[in-house]
Amino acid sequence: MAVKSTIHKFSIEELIKKKHQSKKEQLDIHDAYLTHSFDVENEKKFQNKASEYANALIDVQFENENSKRPQNMNTFDYFSPINAPFKSKRNPDFNFIDLFAGVGGFRLAMQNIGGKAVSSSEFEPNAKFTYARNYGQVPFGDITKEEIKDAIPAKFDILCGGFPCQAFSIAGHRKGFSDTRGNLFFDIEKIVATHRPSVVFLENVKNLLTHDHGNTFRVIKEILEEKLNYVVKEQVLNSMVHANVPQNRERIFIVAFDPSQVPNYSQFEFPTPIPLTNTIHDLLEKGKVADKYYYSKSHMYYPELDKSMTSKDTLYQWRRIYVRENKSNVCPTLTANMGAGGHNVPLVRDEFGIRKLTPRECFSFQGYP
């Protein structure tokens, strides 16, 4: 068969879709280096680390097509990067790293005020895929691993981290530092000690303040202040009071400054309240949503729910053994295990039946566009 020579563009979006959907593979550190090399062009470490993987991908592609790889092209020119909808601005005002990145809520907020993420880390496969498609970077994985910490660029301005909160939350078992999810603060400590960002910006459940009679928060604050020499400010903010989002979501925000890099740190103030003009009804989808969100007649909760949920177009709250109408016009705190049922799950009764919130609605209640 004749061997042809053509210039290919190799779609990274297709690559990560295939890999994510495959039963055998997962998005890994190689995909993270490759995507970061396009998104953070001035960090040569990313290209160096990605180059072997990138070359192997191109070789396989040419081999599959039985065509010859031209020798005169730069490896990275063969790729078309992910066409992500949420990009940082060209000349960012500051840069940050996005730890415990989830699907990128922290990142979106920081991008909106002129920041650029120069690295991200998240280990949950679906969150990684969502994040990659939204922002163009496959996050690096488990931050407790040294190879993942090594991927962090030497210098960046702000460390952002909504570190896991189940270990401290009232809804969880409140094990704190004795739960591996609570220990992750010590990984943040190591990264701060190595990289000395100007600012450390952390978010957690409000209960972090009172967990273990205040000892957990005391340890966090002491480490930041006394071991790492940062100045710490903290405040509990609520999305319905500070973000015009109709969800009752109280979170503690911890902002720590390195005074040698931020001499005017004392001017920092937490935001003041703004009026809540959005209501639940602005965020609930109109009309029938996909069948899978409705409770079927055979669902074990159905008779109970059906008795209690009489008004249409209303939000209810599933409270372990009963359901009550939500009259506050504000959604209760969304939790990580909502899809699995459990405590305080919001339910909607619309003209088609009783249903859970859709992912779109959950995103809206979290303030995403």
Ligand X SMILES: C[S@@+](CC[C@H](N)C(=O)[O-])C[C@H]1O[C@@H](n2cnc3c(N)ncnc32)[C@H](O)[C@@H]1O
Figure out which of the listed residues 165, 220, 255, 348 binds ligand X, where binding follows CB under 6 A: 165
Residue whose CB is less far from ligand X, 47 or 119: 119
**Considering the complex, what minimum distance in angstroms separates the CB of residue 193 from ligand X?**
18
Figure out which of the listed residues 13, 124, 212, 306 binds ligand X, where binding follows CB under 6 A: 124
Stretch that binds ligand X, among 3-11, 69-77, 142-150, 357-365 (CB under 6 A): 142-150
Q: Scanning the structure block, which residue is given the tokens 């055998």?
A: 24
d(CA 32, CA 276): 39
165 is catalytic: yes
d(CA 131, CA 302): 35
- Of all residues in this chain, which one has the CB nearest to ligand X in the complex? 102
| Annotated catalytic residue within 160, 165, 331, 362 | 165
Query: Which three-class secondary structure state does DSSP give residue 286?
Result: coil
d(CA 362, CA 364): 5
All residues at 6 or more sequence positions from 154 whose CB lies less than 8 Å from its CB, including other chains: 195
If one asks whether residue 179 binds ligand X (CB under 6 A), the answer comes out as: no
The footprint of ligand X on residues 82-121 (CB under 6 A) is 100-106, 121
Residue whose CB is less far from ligand X, 164 or 353: 164
Q: Scanning the structure block, which residue is given the tokens 């639940």?
A: 280
If one asks whether residue 368 binds ligand X (CB under 6 A), the answer comes out as: no
- Cα–Cα–Cα angle for 65, 133, 117, nearest 5°? 120
If one asks whether residue 201 binds ligand X (CB under 6 A), the answer comes out as: no
If one asks whether residue 127 binds ligand X (CB under 6 A), the answer comes out as: yes
The answer to whether 43 touches 36, Cβ cutoff 8 Å, is yes
CB-based burial label for 233 (10 Å; 0-12, 13-18, 19+) = middle
| Site size with ligand X, rule: CB under 6 A | 19
- Residues in touch with ligand X (CB under 6 A): 100-106, 121-124, 127, 142-144, 162, 164-165, 184
**Which are the catalytic amino acids?**
165
